């Protein structure tokens, strides 16, 4: 046999649809996070649709309290501005008073750097396991944020900008997750397929 048969063929990479939680599930999961740093960081991820790496490395100077926005440096060193809900901003102010780190919003235990994504992800996994939720990751909070916006009929283009997606195609993945989309499609299919 020739060398052609020695070459391994890779399986095609499987794309999975993102998992999103409803609002009650998110609140339950956040309550299960015992560490206040992890809880505050996870809350911000959900409230602003951040990636875990964007949230954990957030610096104090990135917060504009007057305009209620965050300046985020995301993938590919791209900058975006995202709104912060008032109650979340108030919570962040109270949280910051517990550590008063001059640089990091979510400092590590020694205060000389930000918290790591690994420990935050492990804390999230424990909370999800306690809640009996499988197949979720910390990134599911970002998916849930996008889903909430689309359920409230925020334009897809706006959601794309808030998430920092380079392509609208990436953002369209979230449209399948919304309850109104599923409900209206189910009703339509029931009508079309009646009598089969």
| Residues involved in catalysis | 51, 75, 139, 142, 165, 174
∠ CA 44-46-50, rounded to 5°:
75
∠ CA 132-179-75, rounded to 5°:
75
Residue 112, helix vs strand vs coil = coil
Residue among 155, 151, 139 at smallest CA distance from 176 = 151
The whole-angstrom separation of Cα 73 and Cα 164 is: 9
Q: Which residues are paired to 104 by β-bridges?
A: 59
């Amino acid at each position: 046999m020739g060398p052609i048969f020695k070459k391994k063929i890779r399986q095609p990479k499987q794309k999975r649809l993102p998992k999103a939680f409803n609002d009650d599930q998110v609140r339950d999961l956040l309550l299960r996070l015992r560490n206040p740093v992890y809880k505050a960081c996870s809350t911000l991820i959900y409230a602003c649709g951040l990636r875990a790496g964007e949230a954990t490395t957030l610096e104090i100077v990135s917060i504009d309290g007057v305009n209620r926005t965050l300046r985020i440096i995301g993938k590919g060193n791209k900058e975006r501005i995202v709104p912060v809900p008032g109650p979340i901003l108030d919570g962040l102010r109270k949280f910051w008073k517990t550590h008063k780190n001059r640089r990091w919003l979510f400092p590590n235990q020694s205060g000389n750097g930000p918290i790591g994504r690994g420990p935050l992800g492990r804390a999230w996994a424990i909370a999800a396991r306690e809640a009996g939720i499988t197949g979720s990751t910390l990134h599911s909070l970002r998916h849930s944020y996008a889903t909430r916006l689309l359920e409230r009929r925020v334009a897809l283009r706006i959601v794309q900008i808030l998430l920092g997606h380079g392509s609208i195609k990436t953002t369209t993945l979230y449209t399948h997750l919304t309850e109104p989309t599923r409900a209206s499609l189910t009703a339509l299919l029931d009508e079309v397929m009646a009598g089969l």
